[in-house]
Amino acid sequence: MTRTTLFLVCIALCQWTSAGCATGSDRQDSNNDAGISDDGSNTNDNNNNNNAGVNDSDGDGVPDEADNCPERQNNDQADLDGDGIGDVCDDDIDGDSVDNQMDNCPRITNPDQVDSDQDGDGDPCDMDDDGDGVNDVADNCQFTVNPDQADADGDGIGDLCEDDTDGDGVADGADNCPDTPNPNQEDFDGDAQGDLCDDDKDNDGYPFDQDCDDFDPIINPGASEICNGADDNCDQIIDFADDAFEPNDVPGDAHFMGNIDDDGGSLTVTNARLSQLGDEDWFYYHDSDTIWGLIYPEARFTNNPGGHRICIYFDCDDGYPEPSSSSCDNGTWVTDGPTNAPYGCCSTSHVKLDNDCSGSDDSSDIYIKVVRDATSCESYSLEGYDE
């Protein structure tokens, strides 16, 4: 081969190499037009994605210089906390300074990590914060377990998380009846329990359903009955029960003691009782004397507990009316000893039986009236007799 021929071959080889054989960085960019070679190809497309002149390491279509996660594909470029680091490569997506793996709400900021029901889901992202089975949007106590949703005052706030459960304007901590409205806070016995929710308002040891007066501590089933116009022992009887002689409160109902014939006879009444103050008892006996034609009727207490008075009334004439409730009111009363000045249609202490001039001996009904002026309810006894 001549020198001329060899020279021509070398020139041809050199031209072929410059124009069509160079690749990648070997290709020439003689005019420095941002990585575009003289033949129009990209000199910097290392991942062969044909993004002319742009580096995109993760191939998500976002150039590395603009990609908030250049090494992980995230073409949506989501960045929840706006810290410039894409969510897919951000160790703290919500930016609350708690690592995603430790965060009980990784996508909602909650640096305090509060988890009321301890179910592993932080409250801000828990649909049921207190875990009572009622979703927060419907729960009237969002952070307090109350599956029954009790709301005594109907204000939309559950009782368990209500400052004023009964809605009476008094906070539960100061309310002596927190579950029962009582704005006036009445407390009769001063036991810090309001009357409206106190089973024993007078604090006498008997609940209201057993106590006939729950506002009087001396009235209860265990009290002793006294004569005061009240039912002290709650037996539904004011003062004491009627005695065996009732009804004998008026002359027409007077209790008949019996007959006394001739001088010296007597009749007794024992264990009689005036059960109420202002009450009165009436008794009567029939007195006659077939020997002398004269009677000396009298009456006296054989037991006076105190505060009782007695008088007698003669129905001397068959035509004289029976006594009334006011009989003896203007006559002689005694509290002890015999009634030796009887009052009635007869003016003396003894009575001649033929006082109606009929020519025959008369008999007389002797009425005895007993009244009580004191509060004693003890029983009394009396005697009707003829001297």
| Two tokens, residue 257 | 């003691």
Task: Tell me whether residue 298 is in a domain.
Answer: yes
CB 379 within 8 A of CB 241: no
**186-243 per-position pLDDT tens digit:** 999 999 999 999 999 999 999 999 999 999 999 999 998 877 778 899 988 877 766 7
**Same domain for 225 and 279?**
no
User: Residue 176: what residue type?
Assistant: N
**Same domain for 230 and 304?**
no
**Same domain for 235 and 255?**
no
Task: Tell me whether residue 176 is in a domain.
Answer: no
**Same domain for 270 and 365?**
yes
Sheet holding 255-261, edge to edge: 255-261, 280-288, 364-372, 308-315, 343-344
Q: Among 214, 239, 264, which residue terminates a domain? A: 239
CB 86 within 8 A of CB 77: yes
**Same domain for 314 and 376?**
yes
* d(C-alpha 35, C-alpha 41), whole Å: 8
**Same domain for 255 and 371?**
yes
**Same domain for 278 and 233?**
no
Task: Tell me whether residue 171 is in a domain.
Answer: no
Task: Tell me whether residue 292 is in a domain.
Answer: yes
* d(C-alpha 228, C-alpha 230), whole Å: 5
**Same domain for 302 and 221?**
no
Q: Would you say the C-alpha torsion 220, 222, 226, 227 has a positive or negative sign? A: positive
CB 167 within 8 A of CB 155: yes
Contacting residues for 344 by C-beta, under 8 A, at least 6 apart = 312, 313, 314, 315, 316, 323, 327, 331, 367
Residue with tokens 């290392």: 46
**Same domain for 266 and 341?**
yes
Contacting residues for 274 by C-beta, under 8 A, at least 6 apart = 280, 281, 308, 370, 371, 372, 377, 380
CB 369 within 8 A of CB 250: no
Task: Tell me whether residue 341 is in a domain.
Answer: yes
pLDDT at residue number 291: 66
Task: Tell me whether residue 380 is in a domain.
Answer: yes
User: Residue 326: what residue type?
Assistant: S
pLDDT at residue number 311: 80
**Same domain for 255 and 351?**
yes
**Same domain for 208 and 270?**
no
Q: Which helix (H) or strand (E) holds 381?
A: strand 380-386
* d(C-alpha 205, C-alpha 102), whole Å: 60
**Same domain for 209 and 267?**
no
Q: Among 208, 239, 270, which residue terminates a domain? A: 239
93 φ/ψ sector (left φ>0, alpha ψ -120 to 50, else beta): alpha
The model scores a pTM over 0.75: no
Residues of the chain short of pLDDT 70, as ranges, are: 1-53, 241-242, 262-263, 275-278, 290-294, 314-363, 374-376
- Through-space distance between the first and last CA atoms of the chain, rounded to whole angstroms: 195
pLDDT at residue number 262: 67
pLDDT at residue number 328: 55
Nearest CA to 34 among 21, 44, 20, 24? 44
State the CATH number of the domain containing residue 366: 2.60.120
Task: Tell me whether residue 115 is in a domain.
Answer: no
Helix (H, G, I), strand (E, B) or coil at 10: helix
Task: Tell me whether residue 205 is in a domain.
Answer: yes
* d(C-alpha 356, C-alpha 354), whole Å: 5
**56-101 per-position pLDDT tens digit:** 998 999 999 999 999 999 999 999 999 999 989 999 999 999 999 9
Domain count, the chain: 2
Which residue segment(s) compose the domain that 205 sits in? 199-239
* d(C-alpha 337, C-alpha 318), whole Å: 29
CA-CA distances (angstroms) from residue 304 to 172, 294, 335? 59, 29, 7
